[in-house]
Amino acid sequence: MVGTPAAATPSSKIQRTLAGTPGGPKIREEKIRVTVRMRPLNRKEQAMYDLIAWDCLDEHSIVFKNPNQERPAIPYTFDRVFAPACSTQKVYDEGAKDVALSALSGINATIFAYGQTSSGKTFTMKGITENAIRDIYECIKNTPERDFVLRISALEIYNETVIDLLNRESGPLRLLDDPEKGTIVEKLNEEVAKDGHHLRHLIGICEAHRQVGETTLNDKSSRSHQIIRLTVESFLRESADRVKSYIASLNFVDLAGSERVSQANTCGTRLKEGSHINRSLLTLASVIRKLSCGKHGHVPYRDSKLTRILQSSLGGNARTAIICTISPALSHVEQTRNTLSFATSAKEVVNTARVNMVVSEKARVRELQKEVARLEEELRNPEMSAHACLRSLLAEKELKIQQMEKDIEDMRRQRDDAQSQLDLERRANKVQKGSSDYGPSSQVVRCLSFAEENDSAIDKHTPQRREVVGRQAMLKSLLASPDPSILVDEIQKLEHRQLQLCEDANRALEVLHKDFATHKIGNEETAETMSKVLSEIKDLVAASSTAEEIMNADKANLVEKITQLKNQGNTIASLERKLENVQISIDKLVSAFGTEDTPESNKQHRRKKILPFSLNNSPHMQHIIRAPCSPLSSSRKVTEHEIENRVPQNNITSCGSDTFAKLHKDTPRKDDESCDSILSREGSPASRQSKSVNVKKIQKMFKNAAEENIRSFRVYVTELKELVAKLHYQKQLLVCQVLELEANKSVTEEMDTVDRSPLSWRILFEQQRKQIIMLWHLCHISLVHRTQFYLLLRGDPTDQVYVEVELRRLTWLEQHLAELGNASPALLGDEPAGSVLASIKALRQEREYLAKRVNCKLTLEEREMLYAKWEVPPIGKQRRLQLVNKLWTDPYNMHHIQESAEIVAKLIDFCVSDENSKDMFALNFASPYNRKTWAGWNFISNLLNL
Ligand SMILES: Nc1ncnc2c1ncn2[C@@H]1O[C@H](COP(=O)(O)OP(=O)(O)OP(=O)(O)O)[C@@H](O)[C@H]1O
């Protein structure tokens, strides 16, 4: 009975293009490639005058020839349909080649033939295998950048027993489940194929070992399923210290053919074989059917050894091609229809093939060894990794220092030159008696010029003589211009300018000092007030029976004080603004001395950038303090004397001084003309040039000295700024605390009525203390403070206020740091900036200070015990610092905290006594310590010993 296909696939559905994978080409989903090969009628069929029942419509369709012509049959469509005349080469090229060659690029591949007995499976698979081997070796030859290794293993499943075809004697093999590789055949022999010939030879052995038997339908019927597995491993030759390799298996599967007992006429052994074959093929068909409906539900891979072994090729990590072989004979039409039905299901199965890339064990071991070495090194020296980047910074700094040292050396040399010149001048003055007070006269210069000739009486070979000659030679070059009075003029001019700067700076400082003193007093008063407030509140807490009127009065008092404090905040803001202005003035002054684009000025510029409180882009530029006589004052008039004293130059950029050049740049002035006129009044161009060179040298010298002065002034102002910032911060804390204390009062009142049991306070205290410890850690609070607080406050009910205040203060500080963009710096590990950096630096200095006290405060025995306990290596540098660096580092470990506090207490001679009252934590805002006052300007002439 011949029918139409139950589930024919329309051609449109057979889009066999690969489904793209979003991850890229390494993993892809792909349907199984299904082709159908129809063999010619064999001799037996021809002898029986069997009819050809199937018609290949085109390369993709095959249709049953309906002899009755009653209704047209629906064609079956596949990736490719090969008519009887098609060669195996063509079947390979169009049905299996690209799948087979995938193995070379690390993708598993399986090609198998499915069909009824005698349909041509073995015939086809032989040809496919042969062609694949040929192409594989061809590809290997054309891929010289990789090394390939081919290994072969082969098995047959005969009556559900797995046999090694390369080593039949090994007996039945077991299947094992590997979590990574899937099902593996235990003890399956694997041979390395030396070359194509060797591989073919090994395949020949497998074929020879395979179970073959004679049946009615096939003289040489395969009685088992055969799987020849080629494992292709390719190594990319060593590159970048990694050895990458692709590994993939290529399975050639020649299934046994399904057979009908009635047709095959089998009995006994063949019958038994046939039933095993049919059963396993049935399982394969049901696996395919399940997979074709999507991978939902249970897929019965484990129902047969065949499907277990082929599991990864069926819906798994492999590209798969199935060649379904059919007989064209009308006598086998039912079997053929079954095969086509199987093929139809198979083409819906989707595999997910991926490239199997592995890193060689050797390379992996090498990498792991490196990693282990690195980690060991880090363990040995935990600070090293953090110091690695610091080291490069240090190297950079050292380079800068070297450059600066070189500059200093140059300056010294210049100063010596000037000194020598002056000495000579003085000597000349003595000789001349009555010469001008202002530096060497033309006679002196002449004296200097002829010194060499006149010194013939002195022994030229004595060391003193050699020194004098050397100095004179230098002076000669320096004083190539004949008029040294210009130098004296220049010195006077610069000193005059310096005096003006000095006046400006002193005036600015005066204002600063006044404001600062006022503010400091205000702050101290505030602290005093706060102490009073605190004690009042404490009294209130203690005496909860205070009359309501008094409470109200206190409340009013507090509000008043808060307002007062807030007002003081404005004073700080104004003081800060003034400081900013001073900073800007200084920047201006410095830049006025550095108009030339020299490496020196570049360095200055860079340094300016990293200075704290740099206000280059400050919006307060309009508030620059300008003294009436300041060079920056727009109202200031340039005196005739200044114009006259200008050094004649041939270069407009150095007209006057650098400062004036800058001024000219900022505000164009008519003085440019005067400069030109002076230029025209001077001597010849040659003399002008040499004078200009000398004057420039001296100017550079003075400029350096002046810059040094300004730098020290800048540092001083920066320190003042820091102090103001601290005061500002303290002020905010005070306000915060007042608010908090006020709030606490009402809470305390409530608590009085609700719950004041010692147990609940104890629990609350423990919780709050842990919070405080964590906040200390996050905010880099002083270890001494932590220790004192920790040891003094042990959970007494009277500690409540102190704990609350400390907690509030730290919470505010932590939030403040977070607002600055430095949230939890200790945890984030980012490079801290600004105030966080200052805290970290202070903490580091404190640790260094404590480390220095280890030897004098602890006995040798105690030290050694602590080193052992805190795991400080017995041999190593700075063991004391190592120990101290470990203290107060684990905020979660209360045992660690307790021990840290005890050690620090010992180091600072702190003990819990009446002297060390808890009151120190209430409002212990230490006033900023008195810094040394500014030393004032250092006159340039002093530097030059003039
Ligand atoms: N395409 C073909 N062209 C010519 N002869 C073929 C073709 N396919 C198969 N044959 C011949 O048909 C016979 C049976 O083929 P083969 O043994 O390959 O079938 P089979 O499907 O492997 O059978 P079994 O399942 O019983 O092992 C062989 O003699 C083979 O040479």
Residue 304 in 3-state DSSP?
Answer: coil
pLDDT value of position 336: 93
Torsions phi, psi for 892 (to 5 deg): -90, -20
Quick one: pLDDT band at residue 322, thresholds 50, 70, 90? very high
Quick one: pLDDT band at residue 817, thresholds 50, 70, 90? confident
**Alpha helix stretches (DSSP H) within 10-109:** 43-47, 88-95, 97-101
pLDDT mean across residues, the chain:
70
With beta carbons less than 8 A apart as the criterion, state whether 624 and 584 touch.
yes
pLDDT value of position 46: 87
Q: Per the structure block, which two tokens stand in for 893?
A: 């470990």
pLDDT value of position 795: 84
Q: Per the structure block, which two tokens stand in for 237?
A: 């030759």
> For the whole model, what pTM was predicted?
0.43
pLDDT value of position 641: 37
Nearest-CA residue for ligand 1 atom 2 is 39
- If you measure from the C-alpha of residue 30 to the centroid of ligand 1, how many angstroms do you get, rounded to a whole number? 30
Residue 210 CB less than 6 A away from ligand 1: no
- If you measure from the C-alpha of residue 546 to the centroid of ligand 1, how many angstroms do you get, rounded to a whole number? 113
Of the listed ranges 62-71, 485-494, 769-778, the least confidently predicted one is 485-494
Is residue 924 scored above 70 in pLDDT?
no
Quick one: pLDDT band at residue 157, thresholds 50, 70, 90? very high
pLDDT value of position 840: 85
Residue 221 CB less than 6 A away from ligand 1: yes
pLDDT value of position 294: 76
Residue 220 CB less than 6 A away from ligand 1: yes
pLDDT value of position 658: 39
Residue 506 CB less than 6 A away from ligand 1: no
Quick one: pLDDT band at residue 146, thresholds 50, 70, 90? confident
CA distance 789 to 255: 84
- If you measure from the C-alpha of residue 48 to the centroid of ligand 1, how many angstroms do you get, rounded to a whole number? 18
The annotation places the binding site at 115-122
Give me the residues paired with residue 332 across strands. none
Residue/partner pairs of 200-204 with CB below 8 Å, 24 or more apart: 200/130, 200/133, 202/152, 202/154, 202/166, 203/129, 203/133, 203/152, 203/154, 203/228
Nearest-CA residue for ligand 1 atom 11 is 120
Mean pLDDT, rounded, for 900-925: 73
CA distance 895 to 889: 12
Mean pLDDT, rounded, for 468-487: 51
CB atoms within 10 A of CB 713: 25
pLDDT value of position 5: 42
Buried b or exposed e, range 366-378, using 16+ CB within 10 angstroms: eeeeeeeeeeeee
Is residue 377 scored above 70 in pLDDT?
yes
CA distance 928 to 726: 8
Torsions phi, psi for 324 (to 5 deg): -95, 120
CB atoms within 10 A of CB 390: 11
Task: Please give the number of the atom of ligand 1 that sits closest to the Cα of 37.
Answer: 1
Is residue 730 scored above 70 in pLDDT?
no
When comparing pLDDT for 503 and 264, which is higher?
503
pLDDT value of position 395: 80
pLDDT value of position 898: 93
Quick one: pLDDT band at residue 273, thresholds 50, 70, 90? confident
For a pLDDT cut of 90, what percent of the chain falls above it? 23
Task: Please give the number of the atom of ligand 1 that sits closest to the Cα of 123.
Answer: 18
Highest mean pLDDT among 267-281, 304-318, 664-678, 734-748: 304-318
Torsions phi, psi for 149 (to 5 deg): -130, 125
Mean pLDDT, rounded, for 600-616: 37
Q: Which helix (H) or strand (E) holds 815?
A: helix 800-819
DSSP string, 172-217: EE-EEEETTTEEEETT---EEE-SHHHHHHHHHHHHHHS-EE--SS
pLDDT value of position 800: 81
pLDDT value of position 320: 93
Quick one: pLDDT band at residue 710, thresholds 50, 70, 90? low
Q: Per the structure block, which two tokens stand in for 715?
A: 């540092």
- If you measure from the C-alpha of residue 309 to the centroid of ligand 1, how many angstroms do you get, rounded to a whole number? 25
With beta carbons less than 8 A apart as the criterion, state whether 490 and 703 touch.
no
Quick one: pLDDT band at residue 637, thresholds 50, 70, 90? very low
Q: Per the structure block, which two tokens stand in for 576?
A: 């800060």
In the chain, what are the domain boundaries? 11-361, 392-479, 756-912
- If you measure from the C-alpha of residue 110 to the centroid of ligand 1, how many angstroms do you get, rounded to a whole number? 21
Mean pLDDT, rounded, for 564-575: 54
Mean pLDDT, rounded, for 778-785: 89
Is residue 698 scored above 90 in pLDDT?
no
Q: Per the structure block, which two tokens stand in for 411?
A: 């300056």
Provide the residue count of the chain: 946
Q: Per the structure block, which two tokens stand in for 74?
A: 């629906």
With beta carbons less than 8 A apart as the criterion, state whether 733 and 809 touch.
yes
Rounded to an integer, what is the distance from CA 385 to the centroid of its chain?
A: 14
The annotation places the binding site for ATP at 115-122
Residue 117 CB less than 6 A away from ligand 1: yes
Of the listed ranges 606-615, 761-770, 838-847, 935-944, the least confidently predicted one is 606-615
Mean pLDDT, rounded, for 429-441: 50
pLDDT value of position 22: 36
- Using CB atoms within 10 Å of the CB of residue 658, give its burial: 0 to 12 exposed, 13 to 18 middle, 19+ buried: buried
Quick one: pLDDT band at residue 168, thresholds 50, 70, 90? confident
Q: Per the structure block, which two tokens stand in for 302?
A: 């484990």
- If you measure from the C-alpha of residue 121 to the centroid of ligand 1, how many angstroms do you get, rounded to a whole number? 6
Residue 123 CB less than 6 A away from ligand 1: yes
Is residue 433 scored above 70 in pLDDT?
no
CA angle 132, 134, 139 (to 5 degrees): 90
Which are the contacts of 765, defined by CB distance < 8 A and separation ≥ 6? 795, 799, 800, 803
Q: What's the Rg (C-alpha) of the chain?
A: 49
Name the residue with tokens 């001679």.
909
Of the listed ranges 38-42, 63-67, 603-607, the least confidently predicted one is 603-607
Q: Per the structure block, which two tokens stand in for 687?
A: 């003399």
With beta carbons less than 8 A apart as the criterion, state whether 322 and 99 touch.
no
Task: Please give the number of the atom of ligand 1 that sits closest to the Cα of 215.
Answer: 26
Closest alpha carbon to 158 in 36, 57, 305: 305
- If you measure from the C-alpha of residue 256 to the centroid of ligand 1, how many angstroms do you get, rounded to a whole number? 12
Quick one: pLDDT band at residue 150, thresholds 50, 70, 90? very high
Mean pLDDT, rounded, for 856-877: 87
CA angle 562, 565, 570 (to 5 degrees): 130
Mean pLDDT, rounded, for 575-599: 54
Residue 118 CB less than 6 A away from ligand 1: yes
Highest mean pLDDT among 586-600, 663-677, 722-736: 722-736
Nearest-CA residue for ligand 1 atom 15 is 120
> What is 11-361's CATH number, 3.40.50.800, 3.40.850.10, 3.40.1030.10, 2.60.40.10?
3.40.850.10
CA distance 205 to 201: 6
Torsions phi, psi for 116 (to 5 deg): -70, 165
- If you measure from the C-alpha of residue 123 to the centroid of ligand 1, how many angstroms do you get, rounded to a whole number? 5
pLDDT value of position 19: 35
Q: Per the structure block, which two tokens stand in for 376?
A: 């060991």
Residue 328 CB less than 6 A away from ligand 1: no
Task: Please give the number of the atom of ligand 1 that sits closest to the Cα of 119.
Answer: 21
CA dihedral 616, 618, 623, 629 (to 10 degrees): 0
Residue 119 CB less than 6 A away from ligand 1: yes
This model of the complex carries an ipTM of 0.98
CA distance 834 to 818: 12
With beta carbons less than 8 A apart as the criterion, state whether 22 and 304 touch.
no
CA distance 500 to 517: 26
Q: What is the pLDDT of residues 819-855, one digit of tens each?
A: 665 444 443 333 344 567 778 888 998 999 999 999 8
When comparing pLDDT for 261 and 71, which is higher?
71
Q: Whole-angstrom distance between the N-terminal and C-terminal Cα of the chain?
A: 129
pLDDT value of position 203: 94
Residue/partner pairs of 834-840 with CB below 8 Å, 24 or more apart: 834/612, 835/725, 835/729, 836/780, 838/722, 839/779, 839/780, 839/781, 840/780
Q: What is the pLDDT of residues 128-144, one digit of tens each?
A: 999 999 999 999 999 88
Highest mean pLDDT among 119-128, 416-425, 568-577: 119-128
Task: Please give the number of the atom of ligand 1 that sits closest to the Cα of 222.
Answer: 27
Residue/partner pairs of 40-48 with CB below 8 Å, 24 or more apart: 40/84, 40/85, 40/328, 41/84, 41/327, 41/328, 41/329, 42/118, 42/327, 44/217, 45/327, 45/329, 45/331, 48/331
Our mutation pick for probing the ligand 1 site, out of 117, 122, 277, 281, counting the most ligand atoms within 8 A of Cβ, is 122
Is residue 553 scored above 60 in pLDDT?
no
Is residue 202 scored above 90 in pLDDT?
yes
Quick one: pLDDT band at residue 745, thresholds 50, 70, 90? low
DSSP string, 516-571: HHHHHHHHHHHHHHHHHHHHHHHHHHH-TT--HHHHHHHHHHHHHHHHHHHHHHHH
With beta carbons less than 8 A apart as the criterion, state whether 95 and 87 touch.
no
Task: Please give the number of the atom of ligand 1 that sits closest to the Cα of 42.
Answer: 12
Q: What is the pLDDT of residues 219-270, one digit of tens each?
A: 888 889 999 999 998 887 665 445 567 889 999 999 998 877 666 566 677 7
Is residue 381 scored above 90 in pLDDT?
no
Q: Per the structure block, which two tokens stand in for 60?
A: 């993709």
- Using CB atoms within 10 Å of the CB of residue 40, give its burial: 0 to 12 exposed, 13 to 18 middle, 19+ buried: middle
Residue 213 CB less than 6 A away from ligand 1: no
When comparing pLDDT for 797 and 23, which is higher?
797
Of the listed ranges 308-322, 375-389, 440-454, the least confidently predicted one is 440-454
- If you measure from the C-alpha of residue 22 to the centroid of ligand 1, how many angstroms do you get, rounded to a whole number? 43
Reading phi first (left if > 0) and then psi (alpha if -120 to 50, else beta), residue 132 is in alpha
Nearest-CA residue for ligand 1 atom 3 is 39
Of the listed ranges 680-689, 799-808, 877-886, the least confidently predicted one is 680-689
Of the listed ranges 218-232, 539-553, 683-697, 900-914, the least confidently predicted one is 539-553
Mean pLDDT, rounded, for 750-776: 76
Our mutation pick for probing the ligand 1 site, out of 122, 123, 128, counting the most ligand atoms within 8 A of Cβ, is 123
pLDDT value of position 179: 80
When comparing pLDDT for 441 and 74, which is higher?
74
Longest CA pairwise span in the chain (Å): 149
pLDDT value of position 339: 93
Q: What is the pLDDT of residues 591-605, one digit of tens each?
A: 554 444 444 444 444
Give the strand order in the sheet containing 61-64: 54-56, 61-64, 76-77
pLDDT value of position 366: 75
Residue 116 CB less than 6 A away from ligand 1: no
